[in-house]
Amino acid sequence: MNKPVDIALLPEGACLTAKVPEPLKVGLGEVVVNPFKVAPLTAIIKDGGLAIRNAHVRVLPKNEGGVEVSYTVKNTSLWTYGGIPVFGLYPDYANQVEVRYELNGSQLRELVQIYAPAVHLPVVANQTAALPTVTPVKVADALKHRLYLFNHLLMEGANTGTFKWNGLGGAAEWDAIGYNWISDTNGDVRWYLDIEKLHDSHRKDGLGSSMGFHQTRDGKLIWGQGQTYAKYDLLGRKIWHRTLPSKFADFSHEIRETINGTYLLRVGTSDYLRTDGKHVRTIRDHIIEVNESGDVLDFWDLNQILDPYRADLLHTLGKLAVLLPDGVSKQDDVAENEKLEDEHSPFGDIPGVGAGRNWAHVNAIEYDAADDSIIVSARHQGVFKIGRDKEIKWILAAPQGWSERFKHKLLTPVGADGLPLSENNGVYEQDFDWSWTQHTAWLTDKGTLAVFDNGWGRNFSATKLAGNYSRAVEYVIDEVKLTVQQVWEYGKQRGDAWYSPVTSVVQHRPETDTQFIYSASINFLTQQKLTTPILIEVKYGSQEVLLELRLQSHQPGNVGYRATVIDLSKAF
């Protein structure tokens, strides 16, 4: 190996480290660290022109208690990368990587040393850039080798660009820097996305919050950011990174792969003609379906499907909400409500009623292949199932405020016996509750619906800084009888210490039969805004916590959006 070289000076913003080794030469070929320039903790050990097959990689733990990262590499990946892909390097460390492979019928093994640089993050608002600290509290043996991708947003001081949307609304200026990294269960960073290569607040195609990360069936990562959406592999190789179709704008929150190989994206529109003749940019109220080439196959306009003037929950979200003027009664007809609006009420990314304001705030989409429908979580309204014909199948939300044309689609809470539950001032027997300003509403492989109930505005109450709770909740929905039964919840008993007023996720993981839950914005409403998220996995149908990781942010406004499990068996 070549002798390390001293570094006397580094460019502004670079990460200091004592010594940085020169590129390595090994038996196979050159080691290329960060081969695609966006994933610094990855590498490729080039095959040196050899026809190797059936490779296996082990990134050895750097200390006692560390977690080994190991995976088998498909031959197609060896051909794609021209060598062995290496994932999971520790930052600012000379990693010991064992590779095994077959060459000309012989089984060979090499131990390769690969140095990966320290984590480099953008410095914003005079704050030292640092990823949140991840501390394990409990890790069951069966989950020890889990890898978790954390998607955080830096909300403080991020809007430093000069790009401005026009005065007719839109969410383009909702711009936050995404901190996206993968941690092992020991809390060590094993991957991160160099967001400075992808984010630029001064450009239309560079601004926006990187959100909605999912691992696809082929092991790649998908996400969206402002006016673009993307698919990359874990080594940072771009599959596609494209702008939104011209009719639509302002991606955030959710992109989902369907079983049909298409993608559902939550967007707004770039030019929406209201019945009152106004042209506006709408806010988080459209879902589009695109194919692998980016063609729009279908779209759902929630302004036409739901009621953009239902304001019952918006009343609880603060005085900034733009509602119908005092003394004006809402009508059942959208066009009539538009006539009642104050003509001076601003459009834009602000909670309010009517197309051109943030009346829906869709934050999650699910696809149900059983009947070719989508399930939509709209933070300001509830959870809905909508068919390909754009007709509502059911509404999972408190019954207050719905116009006559929607009431017959409201789900009725029932107990295990199927009988309706009694209710008193919004409080139901058997501890049933709706989800309030929820995030995520995804199907489980058991046919149930798992929802993260944030609890902000619970039972239409005002925002509380203390005495509230969030929970993960599971519902059984009978689509024929239009009933809903609550069969499980977790988090209520943890109270303020687990309360996330925004963001967060719950997802059933069939490979371990656990409920994966990330309460992602704990302490976000405090003055310091130093969030303390908690990630757990709970044995299905129980209160037994099998894994718990606690995070501590080091920058005010660094709030978790979501997290997800990463499966290396699909990736390479």
Last residue of a domain, one of 85, 116, 147: 116
In this structure, what CATH number is given to the domain that contains residue 547?
Answer: 2.120.10.30
Query: Are 296 and 391 members of one domain?
Result: yes
Amino acid at 513: D
The per-residue b/e assignment along 180-218, b for 16 or more CB within 10 angstroms, e otherwise, is bbbbbbbbbbbbbbbbeebbebeebebbbbbbbbbbbee
Residue 127, in any domain of the structure: no
Return the pLDDT at 7.
26
Query: How many CA atoms lie less than 13 Å away from 399 in the CB half-sphere?
Result: 13
| Distances in whole angstroms, Cα of residue 514 to Cα of each of 272, 377, 517 | 43, 22, 9
Return the pLDDT at 129.
76
Residue 121, in any domain of the structure: no
Query: Are 182 and 100 members of one domain?
Result: no
According to DSSP, the β-strands at 189-192 and 177-184 are: antiparallel
Give the sign of the dihedral formed by CA 11, CA 14, CA 20, CA 25: negative
Q: How far apart are CA 57 and CA 455, in angstroms?
A: 44
Q: How far apart are CA 529 and CA 127, in angstroms?
A: 13
Contact partners, residue 405, CB within 8 Å, separation at least 6: 332
Residue 240, in any domain of the structure: yes
Last residue of a domain, one of 89, 116, 143: 116
Query: Are 396 and 428 members of one domain?
Result: yes
Contact 306, 360 (CB under 8 A): yes
| Distances in whole angstroms, Cα of residue 73 to Cα of each of 29, 56, 84, 101 | 17, 6, 7, 9
Query: Are 74 and 203 members of one domain?
Result: no
Residue 253 is among the residues annotated as catalytic for this protein? no
Low-confidence ranges of the chain (pLDDT < 70): 1-27, 125-128, 156-168, 318-319
Query: Are 441 and 351 members of one domain?
Result: yes
Return the pLDDT at 321.
87
- Backbone φ and ψ for 434, nearest 5 degrees, come out as -75, 170
If one counts every other C-beta atom within 10 angstroms of the C-beta of residue 398, the result is 20
Residue 345 bridge partners (DSSP): none
Query: Are 47 and 147 members of one domain?
Result: no
DSSP assignment letter at 169: B
Query: Are 69 and 148 members of one domain?
Result: no
Q: How far apart are CA 38 and CA 303, in angstroms?
A: 38
Residue 128, in any domain of the structure: no
Query: Are 310 and 170 members of one domain?
Result: yes
Q: How far apart are CA 251 and CA 272, in angstroms?
A: 16
Query: Are 154 and 297 members of one domain?
Result: yes
pLDDT per residue over 121-174, tens digit each?
987 766 667 899 999 999 999 999 999 999 999 876 555 555 666 556 788 778
DSSP secondary structure letters along 56-123: EEEE--SSTT---EEEEE-HHHHHHHTEEEEE-PPTTEEEEEEEEEEETTEEEEEEEEEEEPPP----
Amino acid at 216: T
Catalytically annotated residue among 199, 286, 361, 439 = 439
Query: Are 109 and 137 members of one domain?
Result: no
Query: Are 79 and 215 members of one domain?
Result: no
Residue 43, in any domain of the structure: yes
Query: Are 93 and 177 members of one domain?
Result: no
Token readout for 29 is 């070929």
Q: Which helix (H) or strand (E) holds 340?
A: helix 334-340
Query: Which residues form the domain of 63?
Result: 5-116
Exposed/middle/buried for residue 448 (C-beta within 10 Å: 0-12, 13-18, 19+): middle
Residue 255, in any domain of the structure: yes
Considering its fold, how many domains does the chain have in total?
A: 2
